[in-house]
């Protein structure tokens, strides 16, 4: 119990989306609640019933003095609880039981249940950066352009396959009809103008279930990594797409990588931005980092 958060007198709150991961989140939440109790950390298990519920439950947990709040589900569940926990000092525990789990990947939290529970029991809180745009926080990647339209298709249920396979399927469906927008991008790198295929702004490296769109993104450096892809043929997109899983797409001549604590996106017509698998805002938009805004329970790592 040396690394535990809280004491035997403090209560943890586990918030689970029971439908996440085809029911996997329900089982994971129950196992984690039992493991915490066995470690001398009493925990209350709460299930969300509809979109927005997790946010309400998290706010209540913070108001009632919870020692920690554990989000059990996917990146969407985590995104819901962020506003309640950010800059409060109440740490977030992550039980990755959704479809993509890219926030967990970016923080080195095991996707296997036993490993994730072990971090909850033995880990320590560490301040992690968040992203912010419009009036919303996000934890992984803010997508604009082609990838945002792909994600929008998935959010709206227009893709019959879930997860990474569904993302690739949606890419192939959107390619023939996508029209690259003309943008003006401003940041600490200066200004970039012209048509783009996509602009991905990452607090953590991946989206879509391990697609490393900004492979060098570090949620501890106070910066956002930005991937800007110029328009290319659909055949080039299909050829380069597999390279996103390893992050080697960054070497393609159509790809430009920059880093900034903020990014202003201006477009001729309003376009959607998505993050953490949810609607974020619309252009024109300013995306910025919130350094160390969230305490997350992570494995003790002396190299950090």
Q: Which residues are catalytic?
A: 278
Q: Compute, in degrees rounded to 10, the torsion defined by CA atoms 212, 213, 218, 221.
A: 170
Q: Which helix (H) or strand (E) holds 35?
A: helix 24-38
Closest C-alpha to 71, from 16, 25, 32: 16
Q: How do strand 43-47 and strand 12-16 relate by DSSP bridges?
A: parallel
Q: Are 93 and 109 in contact (CB under 8 A)?
A: no
The DSSP letter of residue 23 is G
The residues, ordered by sequence, that sit 6+ positions from 239 with a Cβ below 8 Å of its Cβ are: none
Residue 63 CA: distances (Å) to CA of 58, 59, 66, 84: 9, 6, 8, 9
Cα–Cα distance for residue pair 116/109, rounded to 1 Å: 6
Structure tokens at 183: 């943008």
Cα–Cα distance for residue pair 248/20, rounded to 1 Å: 31
């Amino acid at each position: 119990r040396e690394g535990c958060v809280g004491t035997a007198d403090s209560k943890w709150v586990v918030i689970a989306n029971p439908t996440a991961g085809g029911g996997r989140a329900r089982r994971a939440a129950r196992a984690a609640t039992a493991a915490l109790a066995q470690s001398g950390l009493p925990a209350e298990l709460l299930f969300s019933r509809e979109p927005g519920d997790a946010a309400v439950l998290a706010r209540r947990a913070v108001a009632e003095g919870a020692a920690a709040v554990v989000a059990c589900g996917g990146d969407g569940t985590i995104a819901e609880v962020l506003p309640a926990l950010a800059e409060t000092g109440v740490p977030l525990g992550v039980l990755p039981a959704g479809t993509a789990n890219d926030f967990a990947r970016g923080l080195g939290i095991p996707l296997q249940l036993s490993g994730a529970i072990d971090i909850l029991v033995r880990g320590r809180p560490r301040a992690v950066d968040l992203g912010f745009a419009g009036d919303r926080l996000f934890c992984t990647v803010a997508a604009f352009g082609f990838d945002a339209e792909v994600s929008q298709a998935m959010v709206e249920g227009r893709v019959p396959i879930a997860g990474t396979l569904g993302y690739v399927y949606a890419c192939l469906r959107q390619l023939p009809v996508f029209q690259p927008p003309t943008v003006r991008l401003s940041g600490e790198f200066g200004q970039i103008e012209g048509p783009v295929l996509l602009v991905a702004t990452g607090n953590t490296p991946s989206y879509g279930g391990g697609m490393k769109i900004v492979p060098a993104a570090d949620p501890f450096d106070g910066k956002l990594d930005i991937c800007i892809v110029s328009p290319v043929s659909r055949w080039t997109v299909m050829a380069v797409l597999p390279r996103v899983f390893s992050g080697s797409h960054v070497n393609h001549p159509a790809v430009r990588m920059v880093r900034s604590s903020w990014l202003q996106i201006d477009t001729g017509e309003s376009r959607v931005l998505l993050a953490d698998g949810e609607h974020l805002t619309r252009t024109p938009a300013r995306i910025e980092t919130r350094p160390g805004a969230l305490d997350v329970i992570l494995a003790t790592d002396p190299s950090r």
